[in-house]
Amino acid sequence: MTLTITPAAATDATAPATTATTVTAGGRPSMSASGPENRTSRVARPQPVDVSPREFPTNRGGLCQKGWTSAAVLRAADRLTVPLVRGASGALEPTDWDTALDVVAIRLAAVQAESGPEAVAVFGGGGLTNEKAYTLGKFARAVLRTPFIDYNGRFCMASAAAAANRALGADRGLPFPLADLGGAAAVLLLGSNVAETMPPSVQHLAGARAAGGLVVVDPRRSATARLTEDGQGVHLQPVPGTDLAVLLGLLHVVLAEGLADAAYLAARTTGLDAVARSVAAWWPERVEIVTGVPEGELRRVARLLAAASPARGGRGAYVLTGRGVEQSTQGTATVTAAVNLALALGLVGTVGSGYGALTGQGNGQGGREHGQKSDQLPGYRKIDDPASREHVAAVWGVDPATIPGPGVPAVALLASLGTPGGPRALLVHGSNLLVSAPSADKVRERLAALDLLVVCDVVPSETALVADVVLPVTQWAEEEGTMTSLEGRVIRRRKAVDAPGEARSELWVWAEVARRLGSPVHLATDPADVFDELARASAGGPADYAGLSHARLDADEAAGGPGFHWPVPAADHPGTPRHFLDRFETPDGRARMIPVDHVGPSDDLRPDAPLWLITGRVLQHYQSGAQTHRVPELERLVPRPYVELHPLLGTRLGVPDGARVRLTTARGTTTAAARWTDTIRPDTVFLPFHWSGEGSANLLTTDAVDPVSAMPEFKVCAVQVAPVVEEAA
């Protein structure tokens, strides 16, 4: 979605230009505090800003609560505005940029001189602009010459990306415009509560709802699942972690009842026979035993999707996946099963139908295309491909042999920090690891073992508060650049206001560090110049931006255009709104159907953990909460963590509605207030993940990962729930 951002007129209520605050280790501002974890920073407030929605194909003028209130983060009371360096007292102390960058460069050079280039690691974020994501990858590999770079998109889109790449040859979250969903008669949605996480997108489901064809698979009767009520669709409520079995059962019915698109399968796919053999064992009655989904409902959904498919003259059907099924040790397999189902029905690469993955972060699509991933070069090229290395090296002006090989994915990278032979320094950009990474206590231990931790951020996040150096950087309304939507649409971001204090763009920061390190590699600092270089580096790759520039995007927008969807291989190319219409990005142009099987979550139920814990988002907060907890309107609505449980479970455990409960897994313990609801299964509890401290969901989650994508299994684990016994006063 897009916003219109304008400076607002100052009023008597406008905050003073400069205030002093003390920021506690929890990241909240306080006027007085004591102890070694306190950090002090002078805050220069930016000018007030108004945010209003813009008419655009994806959001059609709609905004969610987070969008309406987003300007509040620009003027957060504890906004970082000057560099901070940890002093002899153990506190982070304000300093100037020259001093801070000298500290970073000198200590990085010392670490690498002693232990080699691989002693430094870099961790990026899916919220960085395309220009920043590209430059961060170049900085890591060409300036630092380290293979160790990954980013928080590994926690978000990795399984969907892995499945799409191996089945379709390219990963574009939605290979069609989001608005296409509006014409469909059926939409199968697994693992995504879009009514709370992407509210403006719900309008695109109206056609499927009117036809009674919205199918939502979710262990909770979420806000999205409730859209299926009153004859508008079907809600399947499986046992947590069994979505893959549901998909295998649906494909079994499609094949067994002759509902597949035989002509499409013969012309556009390979691998059907092996997949058919693999799903033969997943007859609906077996699926019901494993998942709890009635076999009659399973058959009903399979027939509903088939009736809407183009092969049967239907208006169209879509299969969509989200984090709820992807953040799993069988996430890639689950998405593969979803793609297999869509291929069997002839949906993928067909106008008015398709498969897609709903991207989570602001630049979740673009952030993973241009070099932040451990095995990737710009344009979604593989870093171990010799031709790709030569092409990118020529753009960078370096010898291909100097570009490191693949690094390791995020969880493995974090686990290696400060270990013998592992990275001794870490640079973090656009990520709050202490809240967003699984097994949070382990991550804290590994960060503490580093010789140097540098964090670029806009507010004192939990991770910034434990850093050795904190660098204040610009955020969304204060910088130029581009973002790429979940549909592969490249969109301009424009500066609306000046950044407060001494906050600078990371593009400038990386160039200054490179200069201090004596690197001959040129790092452009003007976003338009960076984009031009990105376009050259991506040319010929799966995510080809070669035909784009800031000037072309600006001219298109001025003419009322909707932007360009990649690939855009030439300046006269119109872009590719609908991918795969003619062929898939595989050597023979056919999609690969790949057999997969259900094995269940890595952390199974047991006597000391007899319930399922699932995690997710709420409407008012986002990711680690570093930004949304600083928006008063949002914080008032949901000020603290809570755990949803069914009244039957609450009664059995002796946990009244509103009482505090203790949740314990093999990784740790957390506490939260109980919230009774009949919208969740009696064998399951739900905990939002937007908080740190004692309410942190990621103190509980497992760091077991998918064997293909290395995605952590955030969404489901075994848990013990017990009432908190309050001590007598």
Instruction: Specify the pLDDT at position 65.
Output: 61
Question: What is the average pLDDT across 14-38?
Answer: 28
- Determine, yes or no, domain membership for 367: yes
For the stretch 703-721, pLDDT in tens is 999 999 999 998 899 999 9
Instruction: Specify the pLDDT at position 21.
Output: 26
The answer to which of 143-157, 376-390, 635-649, 698-712 has the lowest mean pLDDT is: 635-649
pLDDT band at residue 10 using 50, 70 and 90 as cut-offs:
very low
Number of domains in the chain: 3
- 592 has a pLDDT exceeding 60: yes
Instruction: Specify the pLDDT at position 619.
Output: 60
Within the chain, what is the greatest distance between any pair of CA atoms?
75
- 633 has a pLDDT exceeding 60: yes
- Determine, yes or no, domain membership for 559: yes
- Determine, yes or no, domain membership for 617: yes
Same domain, 315 and 196: yes
Same domain, 446 and 393: yes
The answer to which of 134-143, 356-365, 395-404, 505-514 has the lowest mean pLDDT is: 356-365
Instruction: Specify the pLDDT at position 611.
Output: 97
- Please choose, from the candidates 358, 1, 33, 364, the residue with its C-alpha nearest in 3D space to the C-alpha of residue 175: 358
Q: What are the structure tokens assigned to 263, written together?
A: 């002509």
Instruction: Specify the pLDDT at position 413.
Output: 97
Q: What are the structure tokens assigned to 164, written together?
A: 């799409």
- Determine, yes or no, domain membership for 426: yes
Instruction: Specify the pLDDT at position 465.
Output: 95
Of the candidates 565, 582, 601, which is a domain's last residue? 565
By percentage, how much of the chain surpasses pLDDT 70? 89
Residues 6 or more apart whose CB falls under 8 angstroms from that of 559 comprise none
Instruction: Specify the pLDDT at position 440.
Output: 85
For the stretch 208-238, pLDDT in tens is 999 999 999 999 899 899 999 999 999 999 9
3-state DSSP assignment of residue 133: helix
Averaged confidence pLDDT in the chain:
89
Give the relative orientation of helices 550-558 and 527-538 as an angle to the nearest 10 degrees.
110
Residues 6 or more apart whose CB falls under 8 angstroms from that of 511 comprise 523, 524, 525
Instruction: Specify the pLDDT at position 332.
Output: 97
- Please choose, from the candidates 614, 629, 620, the residue with its C-alpha nearest in 3D space to the C-alpha of residue 691: 629
Q: How much of the chain is helix, strand and coil, in % rounded to 5?
A: 35, 20, 45
Instruction: Specify the pLDDT at position 36.
Output: 27
Please list, residue by residue across 404-435, b when 16 or more beta carbons sit within 10 angstroms of its beta carbon and e when fewer do. Answer: beebbbbbbbbbbbbeeebbbbbbbbbbbbbb
Instruction: Specify the pLDDT at position 59.
Output: 73
Instruction: Specify the pLDDT at position 15.
Output: 28
Same domain, 316 and 260: yes
- Determine, yes or no, domain membership for 683: yes
Q: How far apart are CA 426 and CA 645, in angstroms?
A: 39
Instruction: Specify the pLDDT at position 195.
Output: 84
Question: Which residues partner with 460 through β-bridges?
Answer: none
- 388 has a pLDDT exceeding 80: yes
Q: How far apart are CA 529 and CA 539, in angstroms?
A: 16
pLDDT band at residue 622 using 50, 70 and 90 as cut-offs:
low
**Domain span including residue 130:** 3-155+363-499+509-565
Q: How many Cβ atoms from other residues are within 10 Å of residue 461's Cβ?
A: 26
Distances (CA, A) of 672 to 25, 517, 547: 20, 47, 51
Question: What is the average pLDDT across 85-106?
Answer: 97
Same domain, 141 and 11: yes
Q: How far apart are CA 521 and CA 513, in angstroms?
A: 11
Distances (CA, A) of 138 to 425, 492, 620: 18, 22, 35
